[in-house]
């Protein structure tokens, strides 16, 4: 099936759901068994064979299995583990791959809260962390140590939008015997498939485009048959459980992911190209643009783009950025992205922390998420923002 069909059909099991199209919300903790033999059978199937049968609420219900099977199908993996948030998915994926005494390589463009996890929690567990230039490609081979077990990627980075050469990084990692985990939230399982590019784990902050409506938190980790085992063990050991209500919202959002993403991409390209014409703008950070430094890799490895982009101002000040943002009507100020509504956020120098290679290029002054509103209305709103911006600059 083509991806637009697969996103509608994946994970559906009308026999399991007694003919119901959308898997209902199954809330459960205790599951009772009629006989000891039935309980022993469930023990065997769930704990030893990892089959999806009702056993205990934390181990999943049909609500969870529908989303897991759908994401697994779309991402091209062996299985999917759910987490209560995107950050939770990133941290759980790492914990499923490392142990005390290991060394991990992490892209310098990684999401801020994920970086905090590496710098604090993971180091406190005795795991050594080294950051690398996201554009290092196959050169990453020189950074491996005898105890390197994981490379963590994020492509594109959600603030600076560098596209990583995943095939080259994965080849180097596997030659060394290390696994590769990729935060694929920007690409989504429709527009980017890290497992096909050589990675072992593909992570999604499903809170964003999969849910699509800014009303639920969830994360997903899809992996190869070998890599996902460690994540499953970590999830079980930590007692990770995701609300079936949030899982239901994610599955319902997934069914319209394709049509929403195509509209996000169409509008984002229109807005990005318009922004490139503005005298106030030095550069637009958006890999689909032909002059973006990551365009060639994006064109090779992605089949589309989402609505998230960055804007570097030619000349700026804090007062000008504030004047630009605070008068906007269609770009509310908020964290996250991927919902139906447009969003804006300022980007501070502190947010772009780099240790592997100093960031010498101008920073993006703002980050825009282009939602599902009419692109011309969004441009008109931004144009008024630029008028306030120029006035504040003087």
What pLDDT, on a 0 to 100 scale, did the predictor assign at position 13? 84
Active-site residue 200, yes or no? no
The C-alpha atoms of residue 191 and residue 166 are separated, in whole angstroms, by: 14
Reported pTM: 0.95
- Report H helices in 184-294: 188-191, 227-238, 244-254, 257-276
Active-site residue 108, yes or no? no
Q: If you ran DSSP here, which 8-state letter would residue 331 be given? A: S
The one catalytic residue among 111, 131, 248, 286: 111
Helix (H/G/I), strand (E/B), else coil: 80: strand
Active-site residue 208, yes or no? yes
Look up tokens 């140590």; give the residue.
145
What pLDDT, on a 0 to 100 scale, did the predictor assign at position 3? 86
The one catalytic residue among 73, 108, 183, 246: 183
368 bridge partner residues: 309, 344
What pLDDT, on a 0 to 100 scale, did the predictor assign at position 77? 97
What pLDDT, on a 0 to 100 scale, did the predictor assign at position 308? 98
* Domains annotated on the chain, with CATH: 3-26+61-254 (3.40.640.10), 257-393 (3.90.1150.10)
pLDDT tens, position by position, 211-231: 999 999 999 999 999 999 999
Question: For the chain, which ranges sit under pLDDT 70?
Answer: none
Q: With CA atoms as reference, report the closest residue to 23 among 68, 57, 87, 73.
A: 68
Active-site residue 233, yes or no? no
What pLDDT, on a 0 to 100 scale, did the predictor assign at position 120? 96
Whether the CA torsion 301, 303, 304, 306 is positive or negative: it is: negative
What pLDDT, on a 0 to 100 scale, did the predictor assign at position 112? 93
- Pairing type for strands 343-346 and 201-204 reads unpaired
The C-alpha atoms of residue 23 and residue 4 are separated, in whole angstroms, by: 20
The one catalytic residue among 59, 115, 193, 208: 208
- Tokens at 100, concatenated: 């005390």
CA atoms within 13 A on the CB side of 272: 27
The C-alpha atoms of residue 58 and residue 204 are separated, in whole angstroms, by: 21
The one catalytic residue among 45, 58, 252, 354: 58
């Amino acid at each position: 099936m083509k991806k637009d069909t697969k996103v509608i059909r994946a994970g559906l099991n009308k026999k399991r759901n007694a003919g119901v199209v959308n898997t209902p919300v199954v809330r459960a903790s205790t599951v009772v068994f009629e006989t000891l033999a039935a309980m022993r059978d469930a023990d065997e199937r769930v704990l030893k064979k990892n089959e999806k049968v009702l056993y205990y609420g934390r181990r999943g219900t049909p609500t969870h299995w529908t989303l897991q099977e759908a994401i697994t199908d779309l991402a091209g993996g062996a299985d999917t583990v759910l987490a209560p948030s995107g950050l939770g998915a990133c941290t759980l994926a790492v914990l499923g791959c490392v142990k005390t005494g290991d060394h991990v390589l992490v892209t310098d463009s990684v999401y801020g809260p994920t970086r905090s996890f590496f710098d604090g929690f993971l180091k406190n567990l005795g795991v050594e962390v080294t950051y690398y230039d996201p554009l290092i490609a196959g050169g990453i081979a020189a950074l491996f140590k005898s105890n390197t077990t994981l490379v963590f990627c994020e492509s594109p980075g959600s603030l600076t939008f560098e596209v990583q050469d995943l095939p080259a990084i994965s080849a180097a990692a596997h030659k060394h015997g290390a696994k590769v985990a990729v935060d694929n939230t920007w690409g989504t399982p429709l527009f980017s498939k890290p497992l096909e590019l050589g990675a072992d784990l593909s992570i999604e902050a499903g809170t964003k485009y999969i849910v699509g409506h800014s009303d639920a938190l969830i994360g997903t980790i899809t992996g190869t048959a070998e890599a996902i085992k460690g994540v499953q063990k970590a999830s079980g050991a930590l007692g990770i459980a995701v609300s079936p209500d949030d899982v239901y919202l994610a599955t319902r959002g997934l069914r319209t992911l394709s049509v929403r993403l195509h509209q996000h991409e169409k509008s984002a390209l229109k807005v990005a190209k318009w922004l490139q014409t503005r005298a106030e703008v030095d550069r637009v950070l958006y890999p689909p643009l032909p002059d973006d430094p990551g365009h060639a890799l994006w064109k090779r490895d992605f089949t589309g783009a989402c609505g998230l982009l960055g804007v570097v101002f030619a000349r700026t000040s804090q007062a000008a950025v504030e004047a630009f943002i605070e008068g906007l009507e269609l770009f509310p100020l908020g964290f996250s992205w991927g919902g139906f509504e447009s969003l804006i956020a300022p980007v501070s120098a502190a947010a772009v922390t780099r240790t592997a290679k100093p960031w010498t290029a101008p920073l993006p002054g703002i980050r825009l998420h282009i939602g599902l509103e009419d692109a011309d209305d969004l441009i008109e709103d931004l144009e008024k923002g630029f008028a306030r911006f120029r006035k504040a600059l003087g």
